[in-house]
Amino acid sequence: MKMTRRVFVGAGAAMAAVAAGQLGRTAPGQAQNAPRGDRSTRLAQAGGVVNLYSARHYDTDNDLYQSFTNRTGIQVNLVEAEADQLIERIKSEGANSPADVFITVDAGRLWRAEEEGILQPVSSSVLEQAVPENLRHPEGLWFGLSKRARVIVYNKSRVNPAELSTYEDLADEKWRGRLLTRSSSNVYSQSLVGALLEEHGPEFTEEWARGIVANFARPPEGGDTPQILAAAAGVGDVAISNHYYYLRLLGSENPEERAAAEQTAIFFPNQRDRVPTLTSAAVVC
Ligand SMILES: [Fe+2]
């Protein structure tokens, strides 16, 4: 996904705020009170390091960290692993955890991290200007860096896009035996269910989930990409997937993957203000 300049500014500012707060070992919320430039300079002179625990593994992120170091002199010490492993690691490291910033994907994981009590609030006018209010935690526990959409990918020769409308509609019996999705144990699925719960309440959502299960083309297996490949192969007609998996196939060097993307198309259902998936940085206690 193309990252906007604002995203980079947001992430850079997040790390600067964290570096200032954590390395100076100030109390939560104090970092913004001190002149940022002075702290950054002092940290750089002291060979400052920000310990970044990230569940993202993209080249664009490495470019971002490098430009942060170039601008501030603060080194980025990167620890990469799966999000749930990083949360466990931060918990087991406890009060002595060296982690300063945690970057993860999906609102569901942010919620888990918040529930575990491993996040610390940050107040920063730079971050508040760079990140819209609906994409950050109300008390500054996390800030969104980029958006990802959960979309419907459909087989172009088997589905008329005029048939597609909403996530809710995927439970309609017209999709019986035609729907492909990954397991409900995955956080992407859980966040979508969470968004529906928030909007419609438990009764509607339970009914919706029963409709979804009744519409399965096959029992859920694999991640999002296998759902798109199965839609392209005609195993089912519509697949629920994050948008970038489709784009990844479209840009693949593997001709079979490109052909699968060309056999399918992407449909953005009713998003409104929902952000089922979000990449975010959070400050660790
Ligand atoms: Fe993903």
- 21 CA to middle of ligand 1, Å? 30
What is the percent of the chain where pLDDT is above 70?
A: 78
Kindly state the tokens that stand for 69.
């170091």
Q: Are residues 163 and 258 in the same domain?
A: yes
How sure is the predictor about 195, in pLDDT bands with cuts at 50, 70 and 90? confident
Q: Are residues 133 and 99 in the same domain?
A: yes
Report, as an integer, the average pLDDT of 186-193: 90
- 242 CA to middle of ligand 1, Å? 7
CATH at residue 155: 3.40.190.10
What pLDDT, in 10s, does the model give residues 28-57? 333 333 333 444 555 555 569 999 999 988
Residue 237: the pLDDT is: 98
Is the model's pTM score more than 0.85? no
What pLDDT, in 10s, does the model give residues 253-280? 999 999 999 999 999 987 665 545 556 6
How sure is the predictor about 184, in pLDDT bands with cuts at 50, 70 and 90? very high
Residue 270: the pLDDT is: 76
Region label for 201, one of left (φ > 0), alpha (ψ between -120 and 50) or beta (otherwise): left
- 24 CA to middle of ligand 1, Å? 34
Q: Are residues 53 and 173 in the same domain?
A: no
Q: Are residues 165 and 139 in the same domain?
A: no
CB atoms within 10 A of CB 148: 18
- 215 CA to middle of ligand 1, Å? 24
- 148 CA to middle of ligand 1, Å? 9
Q: Which domain holds residue 205?
A: 150-267
Backbone phi, then psi, for 22, in 5-degree steps? -75, -45
Q: How many domains does the chain have?
A: 2
Question: Which residue's entry shows tokens 């500054």?
Answer: 140
